[in-house]
Amino acid sequence: MPAPTPAPQDIAFPGVLKLEVDATDTERRIFGVRETIPVAKAGPTTLLFPAWIPGAHAPRGQLEKVAGLVIRAGGKVIPWMRDPVDVFAFHVDVPQGVSALDIEFEYTSPTATDQGRVVMTPEMLNLQWFSVALYPAGYFARRIPIDASVRLPDGWKFGTALEVASTAGGLTRFKQVPFETLIDSPMFAGRYFRQIDLDPTGPAPVRMDIVADRPELLDATPDQIARHRELVQQAYKLFGSHHYDHYDFLVAFTDRMGGIGTEHHRSSEDGTIPGYFTDWATTPASRDLLPHEYTHSWNGKFRRPADLWTPNYNVPMRGSLLWVYEGQTQYWGFVLSGRSGLLSRQEALDALAATAALYENRVGRRWRPVEDTTNDPIIASRRPAPWTSWQRSEDYYSEGQLVWLDADTLIRERSGGKRSLDDFAAAFFGIQDGSWTPAPYTFDDVVAVLNKVEPYDWASFLHARIDEVAVKPPLDGLARGGWKLVYTEKPTDYFKSAEARRRSVDLTYSIGVTLNRDGEFTGVQWDGPAFKAGLTVGGKLLAVNGIAYDADRLKEAITAAKTGAPLDLIVKNGDHFRTVRLDYRGGLRYPRLERIPGATDRLSAIYAPR
């Protein structure tokens, strides 16, 4: 085996990297890169392309899209050699008398969705610096200074957490930052742009920087802006701190550029639906995105699991505490949605019902603990899975959310309503106000702060719910919150919004399938009625009771089958056609929460604004 790539050291890099990105070729979706990397001495040196992407928790750097790599020293092209084991590393032999390497390459970003997430359209782009920069091996990323600049199409505006040094024509130079800050500070730029100030009088600027497919999508009502402003205030009341000197929500209203939700210390990438403002009434299922990513500035970026923190982007990350990083962020994301008014109390309760139902039916817990799903970013890389209810997925997000509801209601019950998980949030995330230097933590640190808030055997509580295979879903928080999960024939408005968002017909809790608009089965619930009848993901439903498939007709037939004949389905799978009899009599079933008469209504207290 070749010698390993030099490990990163906590020492100052001797010199300043210079990076120039040409992002004007939006038609071909190609980023042009020119970079200068100083070298201290002649001899072997190693340059790295970022592999382990923060927020992805996996080696998802798109190395295959690097093309045209040429390295020059003193004006002469010199050969590079890719490391045969660590393929993200490029070895170069620096000639005598050379002080810097001049690098050129193209980042050929996806021209179609099957190549990856589209990051450039004729109207907007998402510049992610980890795709357009090599960096020297052997140093902590925070010890490598870099001067970065970008050229954008004429007339485009942009948002980023980086601070501008100068702008001339389409070229913007940014103030020097550590390489770590550059990677943590992506850009959204676009032809149609609007900035909204979300905290005119607060301790640090907080802004929404919005790009959109069309200019009319940028229209926001004063009420919509007020709710986003309230998000900032409710977050401050919850955490009692902020971990940025300014914060930019980088928001895209688009169905052309790929969707995204990625957290950073001082910004977040929030790619959402075109009608985020303009279709407000029917799209509540899109509104926990900003509260979720904002929460990450405290939970994930500032407080960082010790085994997830790495000194650079080519050291493997470990996700053992993602049920805190993502699970509690999922929890606060929905709570802050409710407290800020981005979701009404009813919508927040309906969202919780949808999550509770999903995990009540997630039969994969019979074999796989939540903890093991923290490996899924690496194992599955978010590829679609045929049997999610059995295989499980990144369940540490939403099953984690339910575990934290369990903990919150337990603290509230045991303390007679005097304390809650809010106190944990203030004590755990609220330290070192104003700092955005990551403060790492371990499992024991989480348990210790929980114990300060409310003495209890939190270690056993968490081990039982996170580390062990469990048949019983973690729904105790609902009952302790004063509510129970029930199924009714009509979906909630929130459930309908979520179906519309996924362009899906969701019959998971009745016959046990989800279908896309073409009638293809996109999900079949493991051990459910459809599963037992032999239906499979990827098959296509052609007819119901002898008549061509249509979503409403299928729902009517499910209702009629309660008292009438079973369903006869014609199903196509590959080039095989067959008739399937589905003897299901339970009618349509959609989750919602129902009050437990007389029980303390802790859920409403949790979602109420502070």
Enumerate binding residues for Zn ion (CB under 5 A): 326
- Name the DSSP letter for residue 2: P
> CA–CA separation, 6 vs 316, rounded Å?
14
What is the secondary structure of 124-172 as a DSSP string? EEEE-GGGS--EETTB-GGG-EEEEEEE--TT-EEEESSPEEEEETTEE
Q: What is the 3-state secondary structure (H, E, C) of 492-552?
A: CHHHHHHHHHCCEEEECCCCCEEEECCCEEEEECCCCHHHHCCCCCCCEEEEECCEECCHH
> CA–CA separation, 422 vs 410, rounded Å?
13
Nearest Cα to 327, choosing from 406, 249, 384? 406
Residue 55 Cβ, how far from Zn ion at the closest point, in Å?
A: 7
Residue 262 Cβ, how far from Zn ion at the closest point, in Å?
A: 8
> CA–CA separation, 476 vs 70, rounded Å?
59
For residue 157, give every residue at least 6 positions away whose Cβ sits within 8 Å of its Cβ, in sequence order, or none.
189, 190, 193
Helix (H, G, I), strand (E, B) or coil at 354: helix
Residue 388 Cβ, how far from Zn ion at the closest point, in Å?
A: 18
Q: Amino acid identity, residue 568?
A: D
Closer to Zn ion by Cβ: residue 39 or 290: 290
Residue 329 Cβ, how far from Zn ion at the closest point, in Å?
A: 5
> CA–CA separation, 36 vs 15, rounded Å?
10
Closer to Zn ion by Cβ: residue 397 or 424: 397
Closer to Zn ion by Cβ: residue 199 or 326: 326
| Contact criterion met (CB below 8 Å) for 137 and 89 | yes
> CA–CA separation, 610 vs 607, rounded Å?
9
Residue 293 Cβ, how far from Zn ion at the closest point, in Å?
A: 7
| Contact criterion met (CB below 8 Å) for 546 and 568 | yes
Farthest-apart Cα atoms in the chain, separation: 88
Question: What is the rounded (10 degree) CA torsion for 302, 305, 311, 312?
Answer: -90
Centroid of chain to Cα 45: 35
For residue 460, give every residue at least 6 positions away whose Cβ sits within 8 Å of its Cβ, in sequence order, or none.
none
Exposed, middle or buried, 572 (CB in 10 Å: 0-12/13-18/19+)?
Answer: middle
> 262: which 2 tokens?
């990625």
Residue tagged 């200074």 (tokens): 145
Residue 117 Cβ, how far from Zn ion at the closest point, in Å?
A: 16
> CA–CA separation, 401 vs 409, rounded Å?
12
| Contact criterion met (CB below 8 Å) for 315 and 552 | no
For residue 503, give every residue at least 6 positions away whose Cβ sits within 8 Å of its Cβ, in sequence order, or none.
516, 517
Closer to Zn ion by Cβ: residue 282 or 381: 381
| Contact criterion met (CB below 8 Å) for 462 and 447 | yes
Q: To which H or E segment does residue 309 belong?
A: none
Per DSSP bridges, beta strands 247-253 and 206-212 are parallel
